Amino acid sequence: MTTYSKQDILLQAKGVCLSYGNKCILRDINFMIRDIVRPGLQQGQVVSLVGRSGIGKTQLFRVLSGLQKPSSGNIIIRERKPAETSGGVVQVWQERAVHTGDMGVIFQNYYQFTWRTVHQSLMLAARKNKLLAGREEEAIREYSFRFDIAEVLDHYPAQLSGGQQQRVSIIQQLLKGADFLLLDEPFSGLDVCVLDKVTELLLQVSLSDELKTLIIVSHDIATAAAISDTIFILGKEPGREGSTLVREIDLMERGLAWRADVRQERAFAEVLAEIKACL
Amino acid sequence: MFRPFEHIGRKNFLLMAGGQLLFALVAWQLSPGGLIPGPLRVLEALGQLLGSRLLIDNLLVSLLLTVKAMFYSILITLIFSYLSVVPFFAWTAKLLVRLRYLTLTGLIFIFTLLTKDGGALKLWLLVFGIVPFFTTSFLSVIARIPAQEYELCQTLGYSRWETLYEVIVVGKADQVFEIVRQNFSIAWMMITMVEGLCMGEGGIGTLLIKYNKYNDLPHVLALQVVVLGVGLFFDYLIGSLRRWLFPFIKK
B123-165: pLDDT as tens digits: 998 898 889 999 999 999 999 999 999 999 999 999 999 999 9
**Residue B201 touches partner A, C-beta closer than 8 Å:** no
Length of chain B, please? 251
Strand partners, A5: A37
pLDDT score for A54: 87
Amino acid type, B142: I
Pairing of strands A243-250, A230-236: antiparallel
Query: B251 and A156 in contact by Cβ < 8 A?
Result: yes
Q: Which residues of A are less than 8 Å from B177 in CB distance?
A: none
For the cut 80, the answer to whether the pLDDT of residue B1 exceeds it is no
From CA B221, how far away is CA B43, in angstroms rounded? 9
**Residue B165 touches partner A, C-beta closer than 8 Å:** no
From CA B191, how far away is CA A4, in angstroms rounded? 78
Q: How many other β-carbons are positioned within 10 Å of the β-carbon of residue B74?
A: 20
Cα atoms found within 13 Å of the Cα of residue A38, Cβ hemisphere only:
16
- The topology under which CATH files domain B38-250 is MetI-like fold (1.10.3720)
What's the average model confidence in pLDDT over B86-90?
92
- CA separation, residue B96 to residues A111, A120, A126, B36 (Å): 33, 35, 39, 41
Chosen from B145, B152, B158 to mutate, greatest number of chain A CBs within 10 A: B152
Q: Of residues A79 and A248, which shows the higher confidence score?
A: A248
Closest of A49, A30, A55, A25 to residue A242, by C-alpha: A25
Closest of B80, B235, B76, B71 to residue B142, by C-alpha: B80
Confidence of residue B202 (pLDDT cuts 50, 70, 90): confident
What's the average model confidence in pLDDT over A68-78?
94
Closest of A213, A246, A173, A176 to residue A36, by C-alpha: A213
For the cut 80, the answer to whether the pLDDT of residue A48 exceeds it is yes
A5-103+181-278, which class in CATH?
Answer: alpha beta
pLDDT score for A1: 62
Of A237-246, B97-106, B140-149, the one with minimum mean pLDDT is B97-106
Q: Which residues of A are less than 8 Å from B248 in CB distance?
A: 114-115, 156, 158
Interface pTM (ipTM) of the complex? 0.84
Pairing of strands A180-184, A72-85: unpaired
Three-state secondary structure of chain A: CCCCEEEEEEEEEEEEEEEECCEEEEEEEEEEEEEEECCCCCCCEEEEEECCCCCCHHHHHHHHHCCCCCCEEEEEEEEEEEEEECCEEEEEEEEEECCCCCCEEECCCCCCCCCCCHHHHHHHHHCCCHHHCCCHHHHHHHHHHHCCCHHHCCCCHHHCCHHHHHHHHHHHHHHHCCCEEEEECCCCCCCHHHHHHHHHHHHHHHCCCCCCEEEEEECCHHHHHHHCCEEEEEEECCCCCCEEEEEEEECCCCCCCCCCCHHHCHHHHHHHHHHHHHC
| C-alpha angle A155-A188-A139 in degrees, rounded to nearest 5 | 40
- Listed by start position, the domains of chain A span 5-103+181-278, 109-177
* Minimal Cβ distance to B170: which of A111, A115, A159: A115
Å between A203 CA and nearest CA of chain B: 22
For the cut 80, the answer to whether the pLDDT of residue A220 exceeds it is yes
Q: Is B124:B111 a contact under the CB 8 Å cutoff?
A: yes
* Minimal Cβ distance to B152: which of A103, A111, A156: A111
From CA B5, how far away is CA A250, in angstroms rounded? 57
What's the average model confidence in pLDDT over A155-177?
89
**Residue B67 touches partner A, C-beta closer than 8 Å:** no
pLDDT score for A25: 94
Confidence of residue B251 (pLDDT cuts 50, 70, 90): low
Q: Which residues of A are less than 8 Å from B158 in CB distance?
A: 101, 128
Confidence of residue A89 (pLDDT cuts 50, 70, 90): confident
For the cut 70, the answer to whether the pLDDT of residue B223 exceeds it is yes
What's the average model confidence in pLDDT over A176-203?
83
Q: Which residues of A are less than 8 Å from B173 in CB distance?
A: 115
From CA A58, how far away is CA A25, in angstroms rounded? 11
* Minimal Cβ distance to B155: which of A101, A115, A158: A101
CA quadruple B147, B153, B156, B157: dihedral sign: negative
User: Structure pTM?
Assistant: 0.82
Please state, for a pLDDT cut of 90, what percent of chain A lies above it.
53
- Listed by start position, the domains of chain B span 38-250
Amino acid type, A20: Y
pLDDT score for A210: 86
Chosen from B156, B159, B172, B175 to mutate, greatest number of chain A CBs within 10 A: B156
* Minimal Cβ distance to B248: which of A67, A128, A156: A156
What's the average model confidence in pLDDT over B43-57?
91
Pairing of strands A230-236, A45-50: parallel
Q: How many other β-carbons are positioned within 10 Å of the β-carbon of residue B111?
A: 18
Mean per-residue pLDDT over chain A, rounded: 90
Query: B251 and A105 in contact by Cβ < 8 A?
Result: no
